[in-house]
């Protein structure tokens, strides 16, 4: 059976072009116009929010109650207010602070000034960002340590790990000249789950009294920080 000339010419032309062009441009004898059939594209799956662990702690204690009265008496003799002075907070469940200060006047032996501050932070999990409360607290913990190390005017800055306090803790020691006196500082930053506690303790001697030693201040600050962390953990049980 002989093929018609036009049909034979068409077959030869299609055989001479690359295979991919044949598929797109050469039709069969069925009478198709060569246009590719439209295929339905699968619709993209709906994006789901990342799953994150819920925050362990849902509240914070009253910052002025995280330390026992005996602790305040030992660390801040002659405290102006044993109940402490609370810092302002627009969200007491997420942040708060309290401070104490006092001058222990020893007459001709001079005076000892002490200042103590406790700051509490709590972080919720954020499913929209896929970040847990604990991860956010870890980031905050690192920032608080860096902030203490970068205190303006601080001299002889030293940092050391503080094991046994919460999930992780760091002590930052330095001296700072204020009102023509050298103040000795010990700051302890601790994280427990999704909570961060920063405790700063400093002091100086007036009227010829010797300055407190960094070792003594640090020992007292570590004990107080451990007590504050325990208060955060206890209120969430």
More confident residue, 48 or 175: 175
Tell me the C-alpha to C-alpha distance, in Å, between residue 33 and each of 26, 29, 48, 200, 212.
9, 10, 43, 82, 95
pTM (2 d.p.): 0.79
- C-alpha span between 144 and 161 (Å, rounded): 14
pLDDT of residue 109: 84
List pLDDT tens digits, range 139-176. Answer: 999 999 999 999 999 999 999 999 999 999 999 999 99
What are the extents of the domains in the chain? 1-42, 63-235
Q: With a cut of 60, say whether residue 39 has pLDDT above it.
A: no
- 83, 73 in Cβ contact below 8 A? no
More confident residue, 23 or 185: 185
Q: With a cut of 90, say whether residue 26 has pLDDT above it.
A: no
Q: Any idea which architecture 63-235 has in CATH? A: 3-Layer(aba) Sandwich (3.40)
- C-alpha span between 148 and 72 (Å, rounded): 22
Beta bridge partners of 191: 168, 196
| Closest by Cα among 92, 99, 97 to 60 | 92
List pLDDT tens digits, range 61-106. Answer: 999 999 999 999 999 999 999 999 999 999 999 999 999 999 999 8
Tell me the C-alpha to C-alpha distance, in Å, between residue 196 and each of 8, 154, 158, 173, 222.
84, 23, 20, 19, 15
Q: With a cut of 80, say whether residue 186 has pLDDT above it.
A: yes
DSSP string over 72-93: HHHHSTTBS-TT-EEPP-S-TT
Tell me the C-alpha to C-alpha distance, in Å, between residue 109 and each of 112, 141, 182, 210, 217.
10, 40, 18, 9, 20
| HSE-up of residue 39 (Cα within 13 Å, Cβ side) | 3
Residue 31 phi, psi (nearest 5): 95, 10
Mean pLDDT calculated for residue range 7-16 = 43
Q: With a cut of 80, say whether residue 16 has pLDDT above it.
A: no
Q: With a cut of 80, say whether residue 205 has pLDDT above it.
A: yes
């Amino acid at each position: 059976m002989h093929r018609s000339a036009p049909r034979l010419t068409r077959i030869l032309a299609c055989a001479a072009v690359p295979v991919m062009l044949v598929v797109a441009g050469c039709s069969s004898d069925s009478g198709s116009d060569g246009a590719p059939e439209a295929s339905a594209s699968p619709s993209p799956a709906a994006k789901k929010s990342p799953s994150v662990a819920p925050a362990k702690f849902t509240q914070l204690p009253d910052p002025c109650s995280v330390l026992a009265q005996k602790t305040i008496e030992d660390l801040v003799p002659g405290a102006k207010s044993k109940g402490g002075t609370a810092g302002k907070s627009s969200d007491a469940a997420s942040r708060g602070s309290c401070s104490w200060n006092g001058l222990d006047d020893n007459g001709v032996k001079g005076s000892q000034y002490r200042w103590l501050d406790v700051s509490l932070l709590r972080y919720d999990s954020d499913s929209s960002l896929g970040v847990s409360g604990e991860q956010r607290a870890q980031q905050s913990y690192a920032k608080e340590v860096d902030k203490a190390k970068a205190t303006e005017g601080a001299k002889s800055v030293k940092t050391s790990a503080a094991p046994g306090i919460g999930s992780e803790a760091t002590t930052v020691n330095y001296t700072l000249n204020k009102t023509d006196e050298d103040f000795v500082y010990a700051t302890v930053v601790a994280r427990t789950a999704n909570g961060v506690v920063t405790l700063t303790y400093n002091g100086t001697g007036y009227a010829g009294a010797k300055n407190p030693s960094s070792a003594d201040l640090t020992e007292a600050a570590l004990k107080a920080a451990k007590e504050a962390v325990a208060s955060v953990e206890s209120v969430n049980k």
